[in-house]
Amino acid sequence: MRKLTEIFHPGELDVQAQFNKKRNWNDNSLAGLNRMFKETIDDETAYFIEGQKYFFIATASENGECDCSFRGTEQGTDNRLLQSVFVKNPVTVIFPDYSGNNIYNSLGNIQVNPNIGMLFIDFKLALRLRINGTAKIIIDKNTYKHIWPNSLRYIEVNVKQVYFNCSRRIKESVSL
């Protein structure tokens, strides 16, 4: 079982102590925290991830300057949307990189700082999932061409932390 300091970094623990007077997260709640904060993706979570039409990523430069980006997918030859993420195994997810604005914020950040956050939101089910890990760019566009025929390259994420997050403020959108 992981310790509190293996789940949260010092800044998180400090702010929890400062703002959470009830001290919900402590050594007595380790069993629940270890169930919540996983290091691998189980089958049910993989099904959720691969069923999402889009997600958001957060990356940062070597100086910690952040960037957040929307990631979606495109239609296949049968006009159905292709999956946005492929769960390769319990600790690896892959997503395509399509042409965009040619600024390459996310890829540039990954090049110098591999840390990445991924956020999946299902508004209809009011579910939110986070993945934190390290990313690398796969340049060979044939690697996952069978999944994403028009992708220019791929991002492979080594999963360090995966958890469903509080969904209290997610409201179902009538336009979805």
The whole-angstrom separation of Cα 12 and Cα 161 is 15
The phi, psi pair for 80, rounded to 5°, reads -85, 150
Q: Report pLDDT digits (tens) over 115-172.
A: 999 999 998 888 999 999 999 999 999 999 999 999 999 999 999 999 998 777 777 5
Distances from the Cα of 129 to the Cα of 52, 61, 71, 146, 162, angstroms = 11, 24, 15, 26, 7
The whole-angstrom separation of Cα 90 and Cα 111 is 24
The whole-angstrom separation of Cα 39 and Cα 99 is 31
Q: Report pLDDT digits (tens) over 102-118.
A: 888 999 999 999 999 99
Can you give the pLDDT at residue 172? 56
Q: How confident is the model at residue 173 (pLDDT cuts 50, 70, 90)?
A: low
Domain ranges, ordered by start, for the chain: 1-37, 38-165
Can you give the pLDDT at residue 176? 47
Can you give the pLDDT at residue 69? 95
Tokens of 45: 């979570």
- Helix (H/G/I), strand (E/B), else coil: 15: helix
In which element (H, E) is residue 11 found?
A: helix 10-19
Q: Which of 26-30, 87-91, 128-132 bottoms out in mean pLDDT, i.e. has the lowest? A: 26-30
Q: Report pLDDT digits (tens) over 31-57.
A: 888 888 899 999 999 999 999 999 999
Q: Tell me the fold of 38-165.
A: Pnp Oxidase; Chain A (2.30.110)
- The whole model's pTM is what? 0.90
Q: What is the DSSP string of 70-83?
A: EE---B-TTSSBPP
